[in-house]
Chain A
Amino acid sequence: MPIKILVTAKRVEDYESKIKVNAQGNGIVLEGLKYKINPFDEIGVEEALRLVAKHGGGEVVVASVGTKDVHEQLRHALAMGATRAIWVNHAGPLDQMTVAGCLQKLIEKEKPDLAILGKQAIDDDQNQVGQYLAEWLGWSQATFASKEESLESEAEKSKTPALQLSADAKTLTVIREVDGGLETLECSMPCVVTTDLRLNQPRYASLPGIMKAKSKPIEEHTPATLGVDATPKITVTKMEHPPARKAGIKVPDVATLMDKLKNEAKVI
């Protein structure tokens, strides 16, 4: 039974970029940065593609909010295999509520069976959008969908996937990460799922995939056309670097280490 899934593709700084706080202390220096799709979103795209493949087809629609630059991330998801894309054109500051508001309107229009989002974006680490969205839509939600092993070993692949849709597409079973273990939830559909790091190992976009993505449509909206007030309710007032780490020391043997931990660091 074909299903329709909405996924997200936030544009974030590459985690390997050197991030510096700007002179005003309220943001980062943008010059020379590389950008990527938020890794948690990429995991969401992968999981959506697998679910659709398993359930006899359907559609994966990818959405992103931002300037035209986000086309790069949308195309990335399309090259991985997503069917089509929606771009909410917006420049300037964005808070989590605006993003969730835009997604809510898109979902009301698109009526997907399921929305899969990253649990957070690696730039601001807010971990809010999925939760707002489920609340405002009145949908069930499962956060931090995950699996046991960090990488998908052969053993892991043969195990049950973390997201399992019932044959009638009425319920979704989700394995999620909790402190020190896993929990299994059964959610009634439609629902919102947010992904954790260990959910899957996303495929890469092959070059033929990239070529195919070129002709896939990107539909444009703005917060205004969706009827969302984009005025931020939260502003970033201050940003600072974490204190520089002091150099470590080498200890000659385990006895010295134990001694230092006990008497200097006083942690054991």
Chain B
Amino acid sequence: MPSNASSPSFISQLCFGNIEEDLILPYPKMKAAEQETFKAVRSSIEQLLKPHDKDFRAWDEKGELPAEFVEELRQFGLFSLVIPEAHGGMGLSATAYSRTLQEIAKYDGSVAVTVGAHSSIGMRGLLLFGTDEQKARYMPKLATGELIAAFCLTEPGAGSDAASIKTTAVKDGDDWVLNGNKLWITNGGIAQFFTVFAKTGGQADRGNMTAFIVMRDMPGVSIGPHEDKMGIRASSTTTVHFDNVRVPAANVIGEVGKGFKVAMKILNSGRTGLGGGVVGGMKKLISLATVQAKERVQFGKPIAEFGLVKQKIGQMVVDCYAAESAVNLVNELIDSGSQEYAVEAAIAKVFGSEAMWRTADEALQIAAGNGFMKEFPYERIVRDARINRIYEGTNEILRLFIALTAMNEVGGQLKELSESLKGIFNNPIKGFGVLSEYARRRASMATSSVKREKTRFTKLDPALEKNQLVFEELTRELAGAVDRVLRKHGKNIIGKQFASKRLADIMIDMFVLAATMSRVSTSLQEKGATAVTKELEILEVLTGQVKDRARANMAKIDDNDDELVKSLADHALDRESFSWDNVE
């Protein structure tokens, strides 16, 4: 996978009808030296977490990890995963980090989130944008866990619309003075190191914010109580308050005024941590569900022998393999220094979190009544899985981001379009508005002006020919659909989230399929056909599913009930209730 800083995004190119196969082939492997380290880490994690198997349920119920256990995590070194070796850390690549979170998530979601929030987002700003002086000052202590990190963006009035935060930072002499309130901050109760986003322009200057390192012991910092949550209950989630907190100018992360970009980069770069977590969760569920299905006897047989049970288990395997392929491919893009992986990272997050949700739900269904009981782990895993579709960008926002960012490349010649789409989180509405301009000009352009050079795969194993043909055909259809959608909706695009979602769903499916083809093809070439018969079967099933879904989505772009659905929503919204009853 020879990609570098100037490599394009696979999905953006796909919207042009181009298959940039070098971005996804060969399927990446963890470097040998890192594999050795990883294996050691894996077996130690097992020794650390397995003895606590019984405790996780109790901690979930109590809604807190005991201080002694957090101390055990520190001693073990779990806060050092992504910190460079020079600063006392493990210096893991994205690939190995994400794989490590898989292992942790197999035992407990709350623990994975505690470790993940520290490494994926809490201290990631320092890692990506910190000065050498800042790194030297904080990283050694972050590595030992003496400092645990948290990421403070969300506020009561600013969730998905992060640019609308109200926390302010005002320059006073050499310091900045912070005031404001943050909400739902993971690790809030145990962190000493906070990456805080505050407005540094006027209240009217929406996107103008700056990232600061704020320490727990700075006067004016206070923490609210633990939130009582549905899932990941033992992970700490709190409010964080800033009351005239004086922060030295040396604690600014990145440039003053560029905090929004810093926040988005952190989230993009940390997303495969979440991806690793959900893949680990799925692997655990497959183990649980298969054992359960073999042990449970009904109608005189283990229920594992019934078709409808097998259907669920087979689907779990396909989902897990596909999600892992996508997550790994994004990890490799990150590790190879590519700058163009934001869309693919969002795809891996959306697909992974939804695959995890399906898998958890179906595993619980296989256990049925037992699954519903707290003695069994399923209900906790279902509750823990739910958050993944909400945080680090809701899946709705990420779908809009995927579709619009990918299409933005198609309209790359329009300066103002790309500018405003960079701020899709910043101002989605404005972002959509400018698209109408693009659509008008684009409509007047000859379709033939779109350059299509790489319409075929040339490096896939020949055994994948059927899958390849499906993918290539879908690619042509996607390019056509992108074009049609942009022409059709013009300035009405603001109301056309349905269309964006459909395109996003097609892109998600296609990236996941491409990643899976890459993995199976590389496996085939390395191990030979007999060793990968099962992987070929997975690919066969996935190809069929992607083809069906993508076709259905394409068909609905032009022929749909969107207006009716919206009208029903408006009707309910207007009355704030369901309007029909069989009682007069």
Within 202-233 of A, Cβ neighbours of B (below 8 Å) are at 204-211, 213-214
For A206, the chain B residues whose CB sits under 8 A away are 44, 75-77
Q: Does A176 contact B (CB under 8 A)?
A: no
Within 39-59 of B, Cβ neighbours of A (below 8 Å) are at 39-41, 43-44, 47-48
For B77, the chain A residues whose CB sits under 8 A away are 206-210
Q: Are A76 and B75 in contact (CB under 8 A)?
A: no
Q: Are B43 and A213 in contact (CB under 8 A)?
A: no
In the assembled complex, the CB of B143 is this many whole angstroms from the nearest CB of chain A, namely 9
Name B's A-contacting residues (CB within 8 A): 36-37, 39-41, 43-44, 47-48, 75-78, 80-81, 85, 88, 90
Of A76, A79, A206, A213, most B-chain CB atoms within 10 Å: A206
For A36, the chain B residues whose CB sits under 8 A away are 43
For B48, the chain A residues whose CB sits under 8 A away are 204
A208 to B75, CA, bound (A): 9
A160 to B37, CA, bound (A): 36
Interface residue from A71, A207, A214 paired with B44 (Cβ < 8 Å): A207
For A75, the chain B residues whose CB sits under 8 A away are 36, 40
5 further A-B pairs in the complex, CB-CB below 8 A; given A204-B44, A214-B37:
A76-B43, A204-B76, A208-B77, A208-B88, A211-B37
In the assembled complex, the CB of A39 is this many whole angstroms from the nearest CB of chain B, namely 11
Given the known interface contacts A72-B36, A214-B37, the answer about A207 and B43 at a Cβ–Cβ threshold of 8 Å is: no
For A204, the chain B residues whose CB sits under 8 A away are 44, 47-48, 76
For B80, the chain A residues whose CB sits under 8 A away are 207-208
A72 to B40, CA, bound (A): 7
Q: Are A205 and B36 in contact (CB under 8 A)?
A: no
7 tightest A-B CB contacts, nearest first: A207-B77, A204-B47, A210-B40, A205-B44, A204-B44, A206-B77, A208-B77
For A72, the chain B residues whose CB sits under 8 A away are 36, 39-40
Within 59-81 of A, Cβ neighbours of B (below 8 Å) are at 71-72, 75-76, 79
In the assembled complex, the CB of A79 is this many whole angstroms from the nearest CB of chain B, namely 6
In the assembled complex, the CB of B77 is this many whole angstroms from the nearest CB of chain A, namely 3
Can you report 14 residue pairs joining A to B where beta carbons are below 8 Å apart? A36-B43, A72-B36, A72-B39, A75-B36, A75-B40, A76-B43, A204-B44, A205-B44, A206-B77, A207-B41, A208-B88, A210-B90, A211-B85, A214-B37
A210 to B44, CA, bound (A): 9
In the assembled complex, the CB of A251 is this many whole angstroms from the nearest CB of chain B, namely 19
A208 to B48, CA, bound (A): 14
Per-residue B-contact encoding for A71-96, CB less than 8 Å = 1, 0 else: 11001100100000000000000000
Given the known interface contacts A72-B36, A204-B47, the answer about A210 and B41 at a Cβ–Cβ threshold of 8 Å is: yes
Q: Are B36 and A207 in contact (CB under 8 A)?
A: no
Q: Which residue of B lies closest to A201 (CB)?
A: B51
For B78, the chain A residues whose CB sits under 8 A away are 207
Q: Are B90 and A211 in contact (CB under 8 A)?
A: yes
A36 to B78, CA, bound (A): 21
For B76, the chain A residues whose CB sits under 8 A away are 204, 206-207
Of B36, B43, B76, B80, most A-chain CB atoms within 10 Å: B43
In the assembled complex, the CB of A250 is this many whole angstroms from the nearest CB of chain B, namely 13
A71 to B78, CA, bound (A): 23
A213 to B40, CA, bound (A): 10
In the assembled complex, the CB of B197 is this many whole angstroms from the nearest CB of chain A, namely 30
Q: Are A210 and B75 in contact (CB under 8 A)?
A: no
For A79, the chain B residues whose CB sits under 8 A away are 40, 44
Of B39, B75, B85, most A-chain CB atoms within 10 Å: B39
A207 to B43, CA, bound (A): 11
A204 to B77, CA, bound (A): 11
For A209, the chain B residues whose CB sits under 8 A away are 77
For A76, the chain B residues whose CB sits under 8 A away are 40, 43
In the assembled complex, the CB of B219 is this many whole angstroms from the nearest CB of chain A, namely 33
For B44, the chain A residues whose CB sits under 8 A away are 79, 204-207, 210
Q: Which residue of B lies closest to A36 (CB)?
A: B43
In the assembled complex, the CB of A197 is this many whole angstroms from the nearest CB of chain B, namely 16
Given the known interface contacts A79-B44, A206-B44, the answer about A71 and B36 at a Cβ–Cβ threshold of 8 Å is: yes
In the assembled complex, the CB of A12 is this many whole angstroms from the nearest CB of chain B, namely 13
For B40, the chain A residues whose CB sits under 8 A away are 72, 75-76, 79, 205, 210, 213
A112 to B7, CA, bound (A): 57
In the assembled complex, the CB of B304 is this many whole angstroms from the nearest CB of chain A, namely 15
Q: Which residue of A lies closest to B35 (CB)?
A: A72
A259 to B43, CA, bound (A): 47
In the assembled complex, the CB of B144 is this many whole angstroms from the nearest CB of chain A, namely 8
In the assembled complex, the CB of B68 is this many whole angstroms from the nearest CB of chain A, namely 14
Of B37, B80, B81, B85, most A-chain CB atoms within 10 Å: B37
For B41, the chain A residues whose CB sits under 8 A away are 207, 210
In the assembled complex, the CB of A9 is this many whole angstroms from the nearest CB of chain B, namely 12
In the assembled complex, the CB of B47 is this many whole angstroms from the nearest CB of chain A, namely 4
A54 to B88, CA, bound (A): 28
For B85, the chain A residues whose CB sits under 8 A away are 211
Of B40, B80, B81, most A-chain CB atoms within 10 Å: B40
A72 to B39, CA, bound (A): 8
Q: Are B90 and A207 in contact (CB under 8 A)?
A: yes
Q: Which residue of A lies closest to B143 (CB)?
A: A208
A73 to B90, CA, bound (A): 19
A205 to B46, CA, bound (A): 11
For B37, the chain A residues whose CB sits under 8 A away are 210-211, 214
For A71, the chain B residues whose CB sits under 8 A away are 36
In the assembled complex, the CB of A247 is this many whole angstroms from the nearest CB of chain B, namely 9
In the assembled complex, the CB of B324 is this many whole angstroms from the nearest CB of chain A, namely 16
Of A75, A209, A211, most B-chain CB atoms within 10 Å: A211
Per-residue B-contact encoding for A9-52, CB less than 8 Å = 1, 0 else: 00000000000000000000000000010000000000000000
In the assembled complex, the CB of B280 is this many whole angstroms from the nearest CB of chain A, namely 15
In the assembled complex, the CB of B39 is this many whole angstroms from the nearest CB of chain A, namely 6
Q: Which residue of B lies closest to A205 (CB)?
A: B44
A76 to B47, CA, bound (A): 12
A49 to B157, CA, bound (A): 56
Q: Which residue of B lies closest to A247 (CB)?
A: B297
In the assembled complex, the CB of B113 is this many whole angstroms from the nearest CB of chain A, namely 19
Q: Which residue of A lies closest to B75 (CB)?
A: A206
In the assembled complex, the CB of B46 is this many whole angstroms from the nearest CB of chain A, namely 9
In the assembled complex, the CB of A204 is this many whole angstroms from the nearest CB of chain B, namely 4
A247 to B77, CA, bound (A): 45
In the assembled complex, the CB of A96 is this many whole angstroms from the nearest CB of chain B, namely 25
Of A71, A76, A208, most B-chain CB atoms within 10 Å: A208
A71 to B48, CA, bound (A): 22
A76 to B38, CA, bound (A): 11
In the assembled complex, the CB of A72 is this many whole angstroms from the nearest CB of chain B, namely 6
